[in-house]
């Protein structure tokens, strides 16, 4: 397993993602533990893309219902639980789709874990057509996520889906 992350010297997003994704595959292919793999993916995304906050919320049973529960992440401390349909993460879970939020204050019901967070992208991972987790990425800049992020982060989600 590669222990050093190679980060593209080019500063453009596509180059950085393109250098990162094969390394994520190499980093996770020899490990079966989900937590270990999600932890390294969060760290590698943070190191490469310098996101303000990047991490996972996993669907878990909680007192007879399901909730999103905070998983491996990098960045400031965050909210631990999110309900179905709540906030951006819970909406991505409920609707089983990617949500890009250019301005979190304009998203009804957005859950503010940090007042510094200004824009956000959330992507679900599915198994048997059910969401098993979401990847949440926050930026401290408005309108920081675009179709390039969506394209490459979807590749990351496909890699994660193979782990379940």
Give the single-character DSSP code of 144.
Answer: -
Q: Binding ligand SME by CB under 6 A: which of 59, 88, 121, 123?
A: 88
Instruction: Say how many C-beta atoms besides its own lie within 10 A of residue 49's C-beta.
Output: 18
| Using rule CB under 6 A, residue 44 touches ligand SME | no
Of the candidates 78, 84, 126, 157, which one interacts with ligand SME according to CB under 6 A? 78
- Report whether 57 contacts 73 (CB < 8 A): no
Stretch near ligand SME under the rule CB under 6 A, chosen from 31-39, 82-90, 124-132, 149-157: 82-90
Between 89 and 98, CB nearer to ligand SME = 89
Pick from 20, 21, 42, 89 the residue near ligand SME by CB under 6 A: 89
Task: Estimate to the nearest angstrom the gap between the alpha carbon of 51 and the chain centroid.
Answer: 10
Q: How far does Cα 30 stand from its chain's mean position?
A: 21
Told to check if 113 binds ligand SME by CB under 6 A, we report: yes
CA distances to 24, 84, 85, 123, 127 from 155, rounded to whole Å, are: 10, 24, 24, 11, 15
Q: Min. distance of Cβ 75 from ligand SME in angstroms?
A: 7
Tokens of 97: 């789709």
117 binds ligand SME (CB under 6 A): yes
- Binding residues for ligand SME, rule: CB under 6 A, are 53, 78-79, 82, 87-90, 110-111, 113, 117, 120, 136, 138
């Amino acid at each position: 397993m590669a222990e050093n992350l190679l980060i593209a010297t080019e500063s453009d997003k596509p180059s950085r993602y393109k250098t990162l994704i094969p390394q994520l595959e190499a980093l996770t292919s020899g490990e079966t533990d989900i937590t270990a793999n999600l932890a390294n993916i969060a760290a590698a995304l943070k190191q490469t893309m310098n996101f303000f906050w990047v991490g996972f919320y996993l669907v878990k049973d909680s007192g007879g219902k399901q909730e999103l529960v905070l998983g491996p992440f990098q960045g400031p401390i965050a909210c631990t639980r999110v309900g179905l349909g709540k906030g951006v993460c819970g909406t991505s879970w409920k609707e089983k789709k990617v949500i890009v939020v250019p301005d979190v204050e304009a998203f009804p019901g957005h859950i503010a874990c940090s007042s510094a967070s200004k824009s956000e992208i959330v992507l679900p991972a599915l198994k048997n057509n059910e969401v098993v987790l979401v990847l949440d990425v926050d930026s401290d800049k408005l309108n920081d996520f675009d179709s390039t992020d969506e394209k490459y982060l979807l590749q990351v989600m496909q890699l994660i889906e193979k782990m379940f």
